[in-house]
Amino acid sequence: MAEIIVVTSGKGGVGKTTTSAAIGSGLAIRGHKTVIIDFDVGLRNLDLIMGCERRVVYDFVNVLNQEANLNQALIKDKRNPNLYILPASQTRDKDALTQEGVQTVLNELSESFEYIICDSPAGIEKGAQMALYYADQAIVVTNPEVSSVRDSDRILGILQSKSLRAETGAEPVKEHLLLTRYNPARVEDGEMLSVEDVVEILAIPLVGVIPESEAVLKASNQGEPVIFDESADAGQAYSDTVARLLGEEVDFRFLEAGKKGFLKRLLGAR
Amino acid sequence: MADTSFQLKGSVVTTFILELYQYSREDFTQQLKDKISQAPEFFLQSPVVISLEKFAGENIDFLELVDVCRQFELQPMAFKAVDARFEATIKKTGLPLLSDTATRAVNNASVAPAPQKVEAESEESEYRKSKVITRPVRSGQQVYAEGGDLIILSQVSEGAEVLADGNIHIYGSLRGRALAGIKGDTSARVFCQKLDAELISVAGHFILSDSLDSALQGQAVQVYLDEQTLHVAAV
């Protein structure tokens, strides 16, 4: 049985797809056979972040509608043999997702994969609910600002009430907080919420803190998940996150602002 | 022009509900006698609504039932939650049929005021289970403890709402809304470990975060009603 992990947030633009790509790749790098499913039907992005947009022939909706089989739709990653992508359809909308269809696909994937990463669309409507319904674990991606935190709180409520585990009274979905776009300097200046603030408000265990980094945008545009960039702070932070997801204890890095030089400080440069 | 003779007003009166489970004249008479002998003063001339919600038996002589009640100085005033098959027989008693959702009664001069006896307490105080929540109540969620207290062993997030007919106890941060005594219990209170609420209400009297004393923010407090005024005090 595969472990189903949903990457969700409520709010858009906080880094769900970047995180899905990075965590999925990280699990594959560590030797776990992993598939990432794009649930954002109609606003397909995962293929771009993964750099496989030219190889999409069949998609998730084709499989749901039995117009193609899973093997035809799965795209094998060129960097890592353990990694597969199931892209969303760009020409359809979220109504194309049905609970039974999603369950069938997840069951079939469960037979051959260790991890299934569900990249959720933004919002709390059907697409997001489908993505989280069958989840065993949830990575709640949050930016250190109040609206993102509130939306994360909302999605945690939905995980607690509308997931399969909640409905059947099984063990609750395991929740992880992932803080992205964290800028320690701005936290020190009081412009951003701190890790402690967010953890206190959301009251779920922290699995990772990804620093705001130019490497993320660069990685997205190049179609190479940032975790493959071992020199980038964001890539290293995602590697640490994957290790924690797998149960390892890793110290948190990148929580302190880099020391500014005396001259820089004097000139007020960032 | 003659002075107005009367005015029709909606009102709520306190009555007993006699919830009938089964009926045989002998058993019913004996049991009613026993019950009333415990506090004869208390039951004297008490209006009573007979509820058939839990009545499982067949058609019975409802007129006889009403008579037995009257013998013991009870004043049956209506039937409630009446199944269609009993309707015809009950109409013969001349008493009105109330819908089973709410017991609405029109004020009536013969209705006795709520008894003030000590026994009243013991008769009316019924054990009610509290609702216990162990996980955080998240933004957009609503939790309601009907007929009792609400106990939350975690936090209440901004945008969440917790309600109770009784008291609300929160052993964590209260960042959302808490409404106690929503059916009008003015003795209900709200307790929380860490105050950061959007709104707190007791029996319809509410206070918003803006009007909370900033010195009490983040403190363990209780909120209660006294003389129509909501008080927030550290505990």
pLDDT in tens, B159-197: 999 999 999 999 999 999 999 999 999 999 999 999 999
Please determine, for residue B204, whether its predicted confidence score (pLDDT) is greater than 70. yes
Buried b (16+ CB within 10 A) or exposed e, B115-153: beeeeeeebeeeeeeebebeebbbbbbebebeeebbbbe
Task: Give residue A261's pLDDT.
Answer: 54
Residues of chain A with pLDDT under 70: 259-270
- Partner residues linked to B202 by β-bridges: B180, B205
Task: Give residue B116's pLDDT.
Answer: 46
Q: How many CB atoms lie within 10 A of CB A25?
A: 29
pLDDT in tens, B56-98: 777 788 888 888 888 888 888 888 888 778 888 888 888 888 8
Binary contact (A154, B154; C-beta < 8 A): no
Residue A205's φ and ψ, nearest 5 degrees, are -65, 140
Binary contact (B135, A201; C-beta < 8 A): no
β-strand pairing of A34-38 with A75-76: unpaired
Please determine, for residue B44, whether its predicted confidence score (pLDDT) is greater than 80. no
Task: Give residue A269's pLDDT.
Answer: 46
Domains of chain B are 16-98 (3.30.70.260), 121-234 (2.160.20.70)
- A-chain residues near B136 (CB < 8 A): 156, 203
Query: Which B-chain residues 70-99 have CB contacts (< 8 A) with chain A?
Result: none
| Best residue of A140, A148, A152, A154 to probe chain B, by most B CBs closer than 10 Å | A154
pLDDT in tens, A125-169: 999 999 999 999 999 999 999 999 999 999 999 999 999 999 999
Distance from CA of A148 to the nearest CA of B (A): 12
- A-chain residues near B159 (CB < 8 A): 150, 153-154
Of A157, A161, A200, the CB nearest to B139: A157
Q: How far apart are CA A90 and CA A41, in angstroms?
A: 6
What's the whole-model pTM score?
0.71
Task: Give residue B92's pLDDT.
Answer: 81
For residue A202, the chain B residue with the least C-alpha distance is B157
Tell me: ipTM over 0.85.
no
Binding-site residues on chain A for chain B (CB distance < 8 A): 150-151, 153-154, 156-158, 160-161, 172, 200-201, 203
Of A157, A200, A203, the CB nearest to B140: A157
Per-residue confidence at B122, pLDDT binned at 50, 70, 90? very low
Q: How far apart are CA B156 and CA A166, in angstroms?
A: 19
> Is residue B205 packed enough to be buried (19+ CB in 10 Å), middle (13-18) or exposed (0-12)?
middle
Task: Give residue A262's pLDDT.
Answer: 59
- A-chain residues near B139 (CB < 8 A): 150-151, 153-154, 157
